[in-house]
Amino acid sequence: MKNTTKLRNLIRDKSIIMMPGVYDCLTARLAEETGFEAVIITGAGLVASVLGFPDIGLISMSEVLVQTRNIVRSTKLPVFADCDTGYGNPLNVFRTVQEFEDAGVAGLFIEDQVFPKRCGHFAGKQVISKEEMIKKIEAALDARRDKDLVIMARTDARAVYGLEDALERAQAYVEAGVDMIFVEAPQTIEEIAQIPKSVRAPTMINLVEGGKTPLVSVDELEKMGYKFATFSGSAQKTALKAMREFLLHLKETRSLDGVLDRIISLKERSDLLDLPKFYEMENKYTANK
């Protein structure tokens, strides 16, 4: 079954889907190994990992596409892509959707920020007009060749014009034909609860530690009516803390004593990367056995 169809089935059959944010092949493999059913690529995490930059619109579509393609190849899970603003005008959006569809993503979203954009929880965001975004949505829908590819619209208008405007935009985007809606960065629990009630389409919420949105449990979000609960930066930030602690320990003690229990073995990493399968292939294709 195609991953686009798998994701569609999950949306239809599950009350809520937890999606950890992944930024490279290793995090995608770990999400699969630990039993998640789908993953979302974290735009901010990908920029940090690939370029070492904050998420302020400095990465190109081609750079994101290469990393996305690698992540899709590395896991059997449906992968949801962050396509920022579509990287330009409606013609750019058209190309973006087809490129990411060819890369094998199961779904993607585009947002109504101006280009270049910035992280949804950073200050200083600006948004394009509702009418401009609808034209981008039309281009995205026309570009889609696999009818099961899930196309989501994200609005960042809450930070600029308030929740009422964001909800107005969200419903207009639904009427333009998107499959799902992501109202970025609601600022209170009441706002979080209001979004699924106000939009006639499945909704996504992103939980960001230290961001503008209160952290709510998945069980509560499920009762509110959300379809996707994403934790885009959590895995990367957890890894950064662990790596910093390890490096400080190594620098200060000049020894691995005391940290070995926090390090997976060479075999564990090799198994995660399917090394035994590559040994089998190597043996199969060796000429002089």
pTM given for the model: 0.95
Model confidence over 57-90: pLDDT tens digits? 999 999 999 999 999 999 999 999 999 999 999 9
Model confidence over 199-218: pLDDT tens digits? 999 999 999 998 899 999 99
Specify the pLDDT at position 214.
93
Diameter of the chain by CA atoms?
Answer: 71
pLDDT value at 96 more than 80? yes
* Segments making up each domain of the chain, as ranges: 3-233, 240-284
Split at pLDDT 50, 70, 90, the class of 120 is confident
Model confidence over 186-204: pLDDT tens digits? 999 999 999 999 999 999 9
pLDDT value at 45 more than 90? yes
* Alpha carbon 190 to its chain's center: 24
Compute the average pLDDT of residues 4-28: 96
Percent of the chain with pLDDT over 90: 94
Fold of 3-233: TIM Barrel (3.20.20)
CB burial of residue 232 (10 Å; 0-12, 13-18, 19+): buried
